[in-house]
Amino acid sequence: MSEVPEYLNRRRVLKALVAGAVGGTVGTLAATKLVHASSEVASSVTAKLPQLPKTPKNISPEMLAKDESFWAQVALNYDKVQGIVNLEHGYWGKMSKQVQEVFIAKTEMVNTQLSVYGRRHFKDDLAHSTNRAAQALGAENEEVVLTRNATESIHNLMRQYNNFEVNDTVLFADIDYPSFKDTMRWLAKTQNVEPVEVILPAQTNQSEILDIYVKAFDKHPNLKLMLLTHVSNQHGLILPVADIAKAAKMRGIDVICDCAQSWGLLDFTIADLNVDWAGFNLHKWIGSPVGVGALYMKKGSLEKISPYPGEIDPNNTLVNKRVHTATSNFASILTVPAAIDFHESIGPANKEARLRYLRNLWVEEAKKLPNIEVLGGEDDASSTGMGAFRIKGKVSLDDAKMLQQRLENEFNVFTVVRVGLASGCCIRVTPQIFISAEEIKQLILALKSL
Ligand SMILES: Cc1ncc(COP(=O)(O)O)c(C=O)c1O
């Protein structure tokens, strides 16, 4: 495991630096230099922030996952609210203290320098952040463009898809993100094509999932475009994306892959997915500030996704012409390299293993309880640190809301209701890497009392 980069371990003294940068000298050579220096933020930051613990040598991620003292040290790098066990970290992630420091410094810098920074230097810094994201994904720089969130990335792919013909079909699944299912239904209506929804069992595994998709492909020979989710937001189920995408490609079906919940929760690179188009965010499991997503489009695959309305790309080679984000949070984008550095310093495989371990702690207990139904992956290959459950037979929205309230009010455990599964509503449980095994015990206690 690499150590945290030096600039992540120091506190900013940027205020003074930036204040001097613009105070009346804009346009001079001195100001130019200062503006540039401050856009590299934080190499001069000094006060103490927690250090990441060194990873013990020769220890597997699975073994390290059980080392509470190691993860307690990791947790020191995060500000944590006291008084409630928060097991709802699927909404958005958390910046480490170091990343937050960089974000604050960048915010101050941008807010001080405004257009002087924006017009002179942002383009280069945006390219730097984009390239860092591409590198971490294992993609080429030209294959990635930063967006504001996964929704922007996926919506643009859906709306700008230009290859429909009469009688075509589009496909999505009950485990997909509810808002994207709605967008697929809207797409079908506006493009005058047929929508098909695949239903997955409440508990399932990799081979069963693949089988269901392949049967759907064979049943709908006019299938042209499908939404495929890497990790379901409802219960953390992993889909065998590469295998499904292979079967789809063989039949000429185009795949839009939703990786909003997977990047950083799982350790993978884009090549592992075997898809041409994917949408990500960095504000969930990568730990960037809120407001950063990414769109991946494999080189040579751009033709069927038109440029964003008004953009021009005659040779279909420019991914950045597929979005037009306009003014967005500069500081969030500038903090991307720091967030990825921090994520990688802990180690993507270590994070994945720790989160799985925390899930298994409560799932193993829950499975012994006759009144609890655990949802999602039946096997390790199909499950992540994110999981879900409900009281057997209680599948309505009201049932799920009541259960969420009981967990919160009687047991001080914060979770969230998820809707959209064909089998009914559920409670999603999503620990983060700063959650301890002790905190998971609080959920187990609650489950045993329900
Ligand atoms: C599976 C899935 N897809 C898409 C999204 C949307 O992500 P974003 O908020 O970054 O647009 C989410 C957010 O929770 C999600 O869980």
Where are the chain's structural domains?
125-340, 350-449
- What is the reported pLDDT for 6? 52
pLDDT tens, residue by residue, 113-172: 999 999 999 999 999 999 999 999 999 999 999 999 999 999 999 999 999 999 999 999
Q: What is the pTM of this model?
A: 0.92
Q: How far apart are CA 347 and CA 357, in angstroms?
A: 15
Q: How many CA atoms lie within 13 A of 239 on its CB side?
A: 35
State how far the alpha carbon of 163 is from the alpha carbons of 169, 195, 225, 302, 315, in Å: 12, 15, 9, 12, 17
What is the best residue among 184, 258, 430 to mutate for testing ligand 1's pocket, by most ligand atoms within 8 Å of CB? 258
Architecture of domain 350-449: Alpha-Beta Complex (3.90)
Radius of gyration in angstroms for the set of CA atoms belonging to the chain, rounded to a whole number: 23
- For residue 36, pLDDT over 70 is answered with no
Give the residue, 149 or 18, on which the prediction is more confident: 149
Q: Whose CA is nearest to atom 5 of ligand 1?
A: 260
Q: How many CA atoms lie within 13 A of 221 on its CB side?
A: 0
Instruction: Provide CATH code, domain 125-340.
Output: 3.40.640.10
pLDDT tens, residue by residue, 354-412: 999 999 999 999 999 999 999 999 999 999 999 999 999 999 999 999 999 999 999 99
- What is the reported pLDDT for 5? 53
Write out the two tokens for 169. 């079909």
- For residue 306, pLDDT over 70 is answered with yes
Which ranges constitute the DSSP H helices of 298-335? Answer: 330-334
- Measured in Å, residue 178 CA sits from the centre of ligand 1 at 9
How long, in residues, is the chain?
450
Q: How far apart are CA 356 and CA 350, in angstroms?
A: 10
The mean per-residue pLDDT over the stretch 40-44 comes to 43
In 3D space, the residue among 374, 90, 92 whose CA is nearest the CA of residue 231 turns out to be 90
Lowest mean pLDDT among 2-11, 190-199, 225-234, 326-335: 2-11
Q: How far apart are CA 200 and CA 315, in angstroms?
A: 40
Contact 422, 174 (CB under 8 A): yes
What is the best residue among 147, 151, 181, 430 to mutate for testing ligand 1's pocket, by most ligand atoms within 8 Å of CB? 151
Q: How does residue 53 score in pLDDT terms, banded at 50, 70 and 90?
A: confident
- Measured in Å, residue 292 CA sits from the centre of ligand 1 at 12
Q: How far apart are CA 307 and CA 284, in angstroms?
A: 27
State how far the alpha carbon of 353 is from the alpha carbons of 61, 260, 267, 307, in Å: 6, 19, 9, 39
